[in-house]
């Protein structure tokens, strides 16, 4: 029984309100998921969320599904949170390490976004170490990423799935937003896998894309951006072409 239910029992109102017992506040649930994931590197479980919000697990599950439907997060089996961008519960080729927290970095875009989103709230996250391997040749790469400017490097980011289809299967999409040693490693990978070239960004373009994409995501009242509709943002950070719907 939740504390609210106990109050209702005490006041004799339980029977009348049982049918409409505690409905989880979906925005509160969203913020709780995002903040826990950001602060710990791990998504909260349904049971943990129910405990913190004083709700039933069925209500939490319903709220999570609503959030997944509106693309605030991605759910796996048994309503487990797989992604709440830029945090990921599954490895997609990147690790991101601050002085005291370790995240699976989601994709290249998400990994570069973490210090921008968390730098103000978590002192240790203002600079992170982003690490990955080249999908073509397996060479390791790592950069210190912070908010002062793009890291140095000749590597190139490649996004396979166009903006209009990024949410068709977002885990697949993020899994194919990777960093390669060079244009020639990317060409070798495209030839080997039979994939069609998507969009190529240098580290500066990737950093600018990531810098403000997730602004305010940990706050109440956040309005999410849909990649295909965010044309002003994409133009402002220097992107162009049909891949972005521009």
Q: Compute the radius of gyration of the chain from its Cα atoms.
A: 20
Q: In the bound complex, what is the minimum distance in angstroms from residue 181's beta carbon to Zn ion? A: 3
What is the nearest approach in angstroms of Zn ion to the Cβ of residue 114?
11
d(CA 60, CA 54): 10
**CB-neighbour burial class of residue 123 (10 A; exposed 0-12, middle 13-18, buried 19+):** exposed
In whole angstroms, the minimum distance from the beta carbon of 182 to Zn ion comes to 7
Among the listed residues 24, 84, 97, 136, the single contact to Zn ion using CB under 5 A? 136
User: Nearest-5° angle of CA 69, CA 70, CA 74?
Assistant: 60
Quick one: 30 or 176, whose CB is closer to Zn ion?
176
137 interacts with Zn ion by CB under 5 A: yes
Contacts of 65 (CB under 8 A, 6+ apart): 75, 79
89 binds Zn ion (CB under 5 A): no
Residues 45-84 that bind Zn ion (CB under 5 A): none
Asked whether position 110 contacts Zn ion by CB under 5 A, the answer is: yes
Q: Would you say 55 or 173 has its CB closer to Zn ion?
A: 173
Closest to Zn ion by CB, 55 or 109: 109
Q: CA 93, CA 133: separation in Å to the nearest integer?
A: 7
Give the nearer residue to Zn ion in terms of CB position, either 6 or 139. 139
Question: Site for Zn ion (CB under 5 A): which residue of 41, 106, 175, 227?
Answer: 106
- Is residue 161 a contact residue for Zn ion (CB under 5 A)? no
Task: Quickly list DSSP for 180-216.
Answer: ESSHHHHHHHHHHHTPPP-EEEEHHHHHHHHHTTTTT
Q: Specify the residue, 137 or 191, whose C-beta has the smaller distance to Zn ion.
A: 137
Distance CA 66, CA 59 (A): 11
User: Which parts of this chain interact with Zn ion (CB under 5 A)?
Assistant: 106-107, 110, 134, 136-137, 139, 174, 181, 185
């Amino acid at each position: 029984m939740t504390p609210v239910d106990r109050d209702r029992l005490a006041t004799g109102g339980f029977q009348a309100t049982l049918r409409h017992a505690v409905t989880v506040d979906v925005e509160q649930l969203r913020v709780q998921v995002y903040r826990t994931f950001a602060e710990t590197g791990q998504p909260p479980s349904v049971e943990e969320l129910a405990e913190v919000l004083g709700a039933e697990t069925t209500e939490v599950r319903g709220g999570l599904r609503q959030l997944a439907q509106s693309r605030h997060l991605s759910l796996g089996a048994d309503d487990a949170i797989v992604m709440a961008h830029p945090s990921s519960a599954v490895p997609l080729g990147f690790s991101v390490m601050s002085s005291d927290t370790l995240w699976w970095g989601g994709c290249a875009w998400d990994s570069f976004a973490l210090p921008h989103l968390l730098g103000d709230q978590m002192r240790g996250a203002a600079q992170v170490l982003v690490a990955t391997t080249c999908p073509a040749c397996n060479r390791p790469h790592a950069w210190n990423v912070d908010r002062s400017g793009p890291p140095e490097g000749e590597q190139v980011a490649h996004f396979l799935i166009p903006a209009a289809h990024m949410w068709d299967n977002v885990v697949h999409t993020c899994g194919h937003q990777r960093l390669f040693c060079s244009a020639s490693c990317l060409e070798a990978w495209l030839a080997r896998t039979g994939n069609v070239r998507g969009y190529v960004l240098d580290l500066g373009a990737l950093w600018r894309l990531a810098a403000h994409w997730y602004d305010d995501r940990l706050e109440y009242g956040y309005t999410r951006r849909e990649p295909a509709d965010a044309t002003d943002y994409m133009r402002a950070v220097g992107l162009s072409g049909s891949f972005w719907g521009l």
